Amino acid sequence: MIKNLGLAFKLIIFILTSTTIIFVAAFVYNYHYSKKTLLKNIEENARNLTLSTVYKIETVLRSVEEVPLNQASIIEKYPYQRQDLLKLVQSAVANNPEIFGSTFAFEPYAFNPTLLYFAPYYYRNNEKIILTFLGSDSYRYFYLDWFQIPKEIDSPVWSEPFYDEGAGNIIMSTYSVPFYKKIDGKNKFRGVVTADISLMWLKDIVSSVKIYKTGYAFLISQNGVMVTHPEKQLIMKESIFSIAEARKDSTLRQVGRKMITGEPGFVPLQDFVSGKKSWMYYAPLPSNGWSLGVIFPEEELFADVSRLSKQVLLIGVVGFTFLCIVIAFFSRTITKPLGSLARSTSEIVKGNLDIELPEVRANDEIGKLTRSFKEMKVALKEYIANLAATTAAKERIESELKIARTIQMSFLPKHFPPFPDKVEFEIFASLEPAKEIGGDLYDFFLLDEEHLFFVVGDVSDKGIPAALFMAVTKTLLKGTAEPQLKPSDILKRVNLELCQDNESNMFVTVFCGILNFKSGELLYSNAGHNPPLLVRAGQEPEWLELPKGFFLGVFEESQYDTKKVELRSGDLLLVYTDGVTEALNENKELYSEQRLLETTRTYPDNSPEELVNNVVNAVKSFSKEVSQADDITVLALRFKGIKEDSPYPGFFQYA
């Protein structure tokens, strides 16, 4: 009976029974002792370590803040002389080792009407406390942030870290407290009391944090600037955001935003110095809005987990050894039929569909698979026969499309210059279909010895239907155009013809014109087409004002108007289809009418051929790797004028 059981059932009996016993014990052990205990303790320890360091720094910062706050209170309540101020500042530095320097910085002329600057500054230099006076033409302290910001916000404030060349000549941060004098019952700002701390002092506190072997702590300012870090080249030269930008690390950038807004957190990230996987706990300093980050290397953080994983691996090796013995014992009875089937199917892969498959001896999955392969052989033979016929048909269709493209392009004028004996004008056009065959059209021909008819159109669809509609439209336009008809009359007649039996509801936009190349008079009409560009000689390109007119082939009652413009010698008209302005680049941006205007402005004196080629190349360069979605058609016509001995005064041959 066992040979009639399914293959999956056999594998469950002989393999899963063994693996269940082994891996349930291993993973239960690993899960409960790794996830439940270790991860919970890691985050708690990280929080405690970070907050204890924040507390150390905060304790010192609070004590530093008390000094200028008390001094500001004293100077506001009691009268003072110059020596009194000097003693106050000196004692503040001498009695508080955390303070690097301090000063009373007065507003200009506030201490003495004859003194622009008055800011006695005591600071530490090794074991000495030295007095200097701030303020000079090169160091106008009352314009600096540590003076201006507390003045403006009327509140004490910690400054961003800075290098003070005029005072301590070190990297420092300043706590500034504004002080006032009551005049006529109102408090008037007189200056600020400051207390400077050296970043070297902060660096010593932060670097004292020991995290495993390679972990470390760092401090950033309220703007994200590195205040302390084991890598000295980062201090005051990089911010957490510039590092994130250089490494393209969006996670670090998000963490930086949370740090400068005063949020705490515990997150996984890559150490931005070593590049190793790490965890970071960060917490703010309440005093000045700075933030402390502590990096925990993951491989050191989870060292206990690694040891536990090795134990699990050892259990797994022993279990798999036992499992291999079990599989080896039963594999011959299970895999022998599969081996025979595999050898037969390898011949099928090589293309031998006449190979005999093993005889079906059981009703399990192997027997079903063998029968499926037999059915597959028959299906493959039929598929290959159908594929050969389909491929031949496809090649025939592709050949016919190439022929259709050749025929379609032969409809269009492509020999330039088309009228070598006509010196009064130049004309050039180009059409690049988006598919094998397209729906755009252009044409031009002489109506008589003084009039040139030209047209550019765009059918609403692509491919063979659009090509047929384009051919009909072009034929109707050429058959209808006559010297005595206005362009609007031509469009009206063609529209009536196209509306007849137009069951596919296709339509075409058209711009057409008749140029009197003896006088320069241009009559034109429009059927829903893009506005052409008119480039007057020596002037900026401008959009040609269009008369109203709906698409051709939609409504029989559509009306069209004719407008007139006088061309002067050297004027050029650029007509195009929306495949130019609506070409897309990889960012889904349109080439747009504005870019076409800029391209035309760049090459105003080009010949029509050069201008058309420049526009087409500009569109292709803009689109780059994006495949062309619409036909691109451009036509340029330049009126050159006539010779000076012509009966038409005011025109001459354009040079």
Model pLDDT for residues 113-138, shown as the tens digit of each residue: 999 999 999 998 888 899 999 999 88
pLDDT in tens, 288-345: 889 999 888 888 777 666 666 667 677 777 776 776 776 666 566 666 666 666 666 7
CA separation for the pair 283, 486 (Å, rounded)? 80
Nearest-5° angle of CA 53, CA 54, CA 60?
95
56 vs 263: CA distance, rounded Å = 19
Lowest mean pLDDT, pick from 251-265, 428-442, 527-541? 428-442
Position 119 scores a pLDDT of: 93
CA 460 to chain centre: 33
Q: Where are the domains of the chain?
A: 1-197, 209-301, 334-411, 413-639
Identity of residue 306: S
The model's pLDDT over 15-25, given as tens digits with 9 standing for 90+, comes to 757 677 776 67
Residues in the chain: 655
- In sequence order, what are the beta bridge partners of 523? 514, 564
Tell me which residue of 500, 495, 498, 531 sits closest to 513, measured CA to CA. 531
Higher pLDDT, 359 or 416: 416
- Cα distances from 170 to residues 62, 121, 162, 200, 206, in angstroms, run 22, 14, 8, 9, 18
Tokens representing 627 are 């495949």
Q: Is the pLDDT of residue 437 over 60?
A: yes
Q: In this prediction, what percent of the chain has a pLDDT beyond 70?
A: 80
Lowest mean pLDDT among 51-55, 182-186, 413-417, 646-650: 646-650
- DSSP code string of 360-401: P--SSHHHHHHHHHHHHHHHHHHHHHHHHHHHHHHHHHHHHH
Residue 42's pLDDT is 76
Query: In sequence order, what are the residues at sequence separation of 6 or more whose Cβ sits closer than 8 angstroms to the Cβ of residue 444?
Result: 413, 418, 427, 429, 452, 453, 454, 455, 635, 637
Q: Which two tokens stand for residue 356?
A: 């005999």
pLDDT value for 571: 95
124: CB partners within 8 A, 6+ apart: 93, 100, 101, 130
Q: What is the pLDDT of residue 35?
A: 58
CB 527 within 8 A of CB 560: yes
Supply the pLDDT for residue 646: 45
Helix (H, G, I), strand (E, B) or coil at 214: coil
pLDDT for residue 177: 95
Residue 654 has pLDDT above 60, yes or no: no
| Distance between CA atoms of residues 455 and 443, nearest Å | 5
Longest distance between any two alpha carbons in the chain, whole Å: 116
Phi, psi of 194, rounded to the nearest 5 degrees: -120, 155
Indicate the angle between helix axes 82-94 and 40-77, nearest 10 degrees: 160
Predicted pLDDT at 651: 43
> Which whole number is the average pLDDT over 155-172?
78
The whole-number average pLDDT for the span 379-399 is 68
pLDDT over 50 (residue 418): yes
pLDDT tens-place string over residues 38-97: 767 777 887 888 888 888 888 888 989 999 999 999 998 888 899 989 999 999 999 998
Q: Which of 369-373, 463-467, 650-654 has the lowest mean pLDDT?
A: 650-654
Q: Give strand pairing partners of 183.
A: 186
Label residue 6 left, alpha or beta by phi (over 0 means left) and psi (-120 to 50 means alpha): beta
* Per-residue confidence (pLDDT) for residue 597, from 0 to 100: 94
Distance CA 595, CA 620 (A): 13
Residue with tokens 């009064």: 424
Q: SS3 helix, strand, coil % of the chain, rounded to 5?
A: 45, 25, 35
Q: How far is the C-alpha of 101 from the C-alpha of 129, rounded, in Å? A: 9
Using alpha carbons, select from 482, 472, 545 the residue that is nearest to residue 511.
545
**Measured between alpha carbons, how far is 203 from 354 in angstroms, rounded to an integer?**
81
Q: Which CATH superfamily hosts domain 209-301?
A: PAS domain (3.30.450.20)
Q: What's the angle, vertex CA 335, arms to CA 329 and CA 337, rounded to 5? A: 135
Task: For residue 554, give the DSSP letter.
Answer: S
Give kind and range of the element (H or E) at residue 459. strand 451-459
Cα–Cα distance, 154 to 141 (Å, whole number): 18
- Say whether domain 1-197 belongs to CATH 3.30.450.20: yes
Q: What is the mean pLDDT of residues 589-600?
A: 94
* Average pLDDT rounded to a whole number, residues 623-652: 75
Neighbour count for residue 460 (Cβ, 10 Å): 17
Is CATH 3.60.40.10 the right assignment for the domain spanning 413-639?
A: yes
Give Rg (Cα) of the chain. Answer: 43
pLDDT of 166 above 90: no
Q: Which residues contact 130 (CB under 8 A, 6 or more apart)?
A: 122, 123, 124
- Flag the least confident range among 153-162, 261-270, 605-614, 635-644: 635-644
CATH placement of domain 334-411 = 1.10.287.130
CA pair distance 97, 91, nearest whole angstrom: 11
CA distance 327 to 333: 10
Question: What integer pLDDT is reported at residue 457 of this predicted model?
Answer: 95
Average of per-residue pLDDT across 360-381: 70
Query: Does the pLDDT of residue 569 top 90, yes or no?
Result: yes
pTM of the model: 0.45
Q: Which residue has the tokens 């919970």?
A: 40
**Tokens in use for 506?**
């296709």
Q: What is the mean pLDDT of residues 595-614?
A: 91
Closest CA to 442 of 638, 639, 637, 640: 637
Q: Are 528 and 509 in contact (CB under 8 A)?
A: yes
Same fold, 1-197 and 209-301: yes
Residues 388-404, mean pLDDT to the nearest whole number: 62
- If we measure between CA atoms, which residue out of 328, 364, 360 comes closest to residue 344? 360
Predicted confidence (pLDDT) at residue 400 exceeds the cutoff of 60: no
What is the spatial distance between Cα 460 and Cα 506, in angstroms, rounded to a whole number? 6
Q: What does pLDDT average to over the chain?
A: 83
Angle ∠(426,428,433) on CA atoms, nearest 5: 170
For 446-492, the pLDDT digits (tens) are 999 999 999 999 998 777 788 888 889 999 999 999 989 999 999 99
